[in-house]
Amino acid sequence: MILPLVGVIKSIDPTLEAAARSLGATRLQVFRRVILPLSWPGIQAGTVLVFVLSLSAYVTPVMLGGAQVKTMSVLVVQNLIDNFQWPAGAAQALVLTICGIAAVALYARATSRLSRAVT
Q: Based on the structure, what is the number of domains in the chain? A: 2
| Distance between CA atoms of residues 82 and 93, nearest Å | 15
Q: CB-based contacts of 6: which residues, under 8 Å, 6+ apart?
A: 42
Read off the pTM: 0.74
Q: In angstroms, what is the C-alpha Rg of the chain?
A: 21
Task: Supply the range of the domain harboring residue 93.
Answer: 58-119
Give pairs for 59-68: CB < 8 Å, separation 24+: none
pLDDT by residue (tens digit) across 9-29? 999 999 999 999 999 999 999
pLDDT by residue (tens digit) across 72-107? 888 888 888 888 888 988 999 899 999 999 999 999
Same domain, residue pair 69 and 118: yes
pLDDT by residue (tens digit) across 44-66? 999 999 998 888 887 777 788 77
Same domain, residue pair 27 and 63: no
